[in-house]
Structure 1
Amino acid sequence: MEKKTKVLILGTYHFGNGGEHLINIDAGEIASDKIQSEILEVVEKLLKFKPTKIAVEARESKAKELNEVYSEYCLNKTYVENKLISHRNEIVQLAFRLGQKLNHDKIYPVDYPVDLPDNHFEYAKNICPELYNEFMNEISEYGTYVSNYMDSHTVCENLRYLNNPDRISKEHSSLYLHLAQVGAGDTYYGVDMLTEWYRRNLYILGNLQRIAKPSDKILVIYGAGHCKILQDFVKEYNKFEFIDALDYL
């Protein structure tokens, strides 16, 4: 029987508070002694997986530049300020640290961004305001809950929460699939948005397939919103073996 590539998907919040997302989480002061200690705790836990490759949420086209920064990080045993990536980013805080400890010679960026259409929100606001208001209220309530939870828990506890399968399924249903109905029977704006979201995750899958070898153990560090789709892809692809992040957190 052919050996399968083990793939562990770690859904995370963005430590750098960057980007445009439905819900933006304040990661706090990453450089504080408290949070640094909590991040190091997570690193030690993930080391037990013994990944042979670490894949991250950065453009695949930026692999050369990212690995120049990573190589300098490994050489100096510390982050050197640069324009490509902030010291706050989870790639630096988690992936670089793990890679350096494991003597990896490179990090693997596997992202391929797409332009998500935003006309579905304007359409919903004007044509189906009840749906729009319901969705925006749910976003607000969910965002408040997540923010309050994370403020009162450690980094590891927050990652355990984000990787909980019940939370992942509920978010995917309520904040993604629920939008398919926007413009159904007319413009299908909601479907167009979801198509692009799935397309992006298929690009990520393709990049993972490209770097994977049967003997590999790949740690994928990605925004938690990708968890449901990426986990499903990994579980359904017969050359991959899904590893639950909760087994190591």
Structure 2
Amino acid sequence: MEKKAKILILGTYHFANGGEHLIKAQCEDITTEKKQKEIKVVIEKLMQFKPNKIAVEANRGKNEELNKAYSEYCVNKYNSSDETISHRNEIVQLGFRLGQILKHNKIYPIDYPVDLPEEVFEYAEKNCPKFYEKFMNEIKECNIIENEIMKNSTVIEILKHLNDPNRIAKEHSDLYLAMAQIGAGDKYYGVDMLTEWYRRNLYIFGNLQDMVEPEDRVLVIYGAGHCKILQDFVSEYNEFELVDTLEYL
């Protein structure tokens, strides 16, 4: 009987402070000597998982460009002038670095972007004022907490926080599932938003399935907002075994 592939999903923050997100936590410059030492600690922890493949939050359609950048990284440590990906990005700082140490010949991009409905929050503000006020207060509170953690914690402490099951469950409930009620019975903007969000994560999961062979040990490095859905997909799929991320942090 073939052994299940082991999948470790590392929820992370965006080291380069990029992208549009509800929670806009600002992290310190990841290239400082202090932060580089902290990242080294994370790498040493993740090495204990002994992944034979590393999957990252980059568009699968950019596989050739990403792996060209990875090959150049392996030769030059990192190339700050590369237009494909910033050397500050967690894909480089964690994925490329770990891949180089473990002598992986490639990195696996598994992302697939989708367009999220832009009308959802404007509609909620005008038509669901009680929900909107509560939701925005939740966002404000999360921003305060996350920025405080970013300011006062090491990289591995931040990652432990982001991968805490209680935090992941609360975020999924309060900041994702709560949106289903926006426009219910009328425009269903909230449901449309969640449909696209789940659709993106299903694309990601399909790409993960496509790259995995039995007995693989795969490290998936992704934005922490994806953790709940991807972990559910992995744990409910008979050919995968979900690994406890906190055991390696």
TM-score of the aligned structures, taking structure 2 as reference length:
0.98
Mapped to 2, the partners of 1:6 and 1:85 lie a distance apart of: 28
Mapped to 1, the partners of 2:80 and 2:117 lie a distance apart of: 36
Match of 2:176 in 1: 176
Aligned pairs for 1:55-204 within 5 A: 55-204=55-204
Within the alignment, does 1:228 sit opposite 2:228 as a pair?
yes
Mapped to 2, the partners of 1:120 and 1:25 lie a distance apart of: 22
Mapped to 1, the partners of 2:88 and 2:75 lie a distance apart of: 19
Q: Following TM superposition, by how much is the alpha carbon of 1:244 offset from its aligned partner in structure 2, in angstroms?
A: 1.1
1:39-87 deviations in Å (ceiling 9; x for gaps): 1110010011010100000000000000001001111233342111111
**Paired residues of 1:73 and 1:80 also in contact (CA < 8 A):** no
The one-letter amino acid paired with 1:143 is N
**Paired residues of 2:80 and 2:86 also in contact (CA < 8 A):** no
The one-letter amino acid paired with 2:170 is K
Mapped to 1, the partners of 2:110 and 2:138 lie a distance apart of: 31
- The CA RMSD over aligned residues, in Å, is 0.8
**Paired residues of 2:116 and 2:197 also in contact (CA < 8 A):** yes
1:191-244 deviations in Å (ceiling 9; x for gaps): 000000000000000000000000210000000000000000000000000001
Within the alignment, does 1:26 sit opposite 2:22 as a pair?
no
Match of 1:210 in 2: 210
* Paired-residue identity, %: 65
Mapped to 2, the partners of 1:2 and 1:101 lie a distance apart of: 28
Mapped to 2, the partners of 1:80 and 1:30 lie a distance apart of: 13
1:94-137 deviations in Å (ceiling 9; x for gaps): 00000000000000000000001021111111111111111111
Mapped to 1, the partners of 2:144 and 2:77 lie a distance apart of: 37
The one-letter amino acid paired with 2:183 is G
Tell me which moved more, 71-80 or 115-124.
71-80
Match of 1:51, SS state, is coil
Mapped to 2, the partners of 1:100 and 1:160 lie a distance apart of: 24
Match of 1:42 in 2: 42
Gaps of 5+ in 1: none
Mapped to 1, the partners of 2:14 and 2:141 lie a distance apart of: 20
Aligned length: 249
The one-letter amino acid paired with 2:152 is S
Q: Following TM superposition, by how much is the alpha carbon of 1:26 offset from its aligned partner in structure 2, in angstroms?
A: 1.2
Large movers: runs of 4+ above 3 Å: none
**Paired residues of 1:72 and 1:80 also in contact (CA < 8 A):** no
TM-score of the aligned structures, taking structure 1 as reference length:
0.98
**Paired residues of 2:58 and 2:110 also in contact (CA < 8 A):** yes
**Paired residues of 2:78 and 2:87 also in contact (CA < 8 A):** no
**Paired residues of 2:73 and 2:79 also in contact (CA < 8 A):** yes
1:8-65 deviations in Å (ceiling 9; x for gaps): 0000000010010111221211111111100111001001101010000000000000
Match of 1:12 in 2: 12
**Paired residues of 1:15 and 1:90 also in contact (CA < 8 A):** yes
Match of 2:9, SS state, is strand
Match of 1:52 in 2: 52
**Paired residues of 1:3 and 1:214 also in contact (CA < 8 A):** yes
Match of 1:6, SS state, is strand
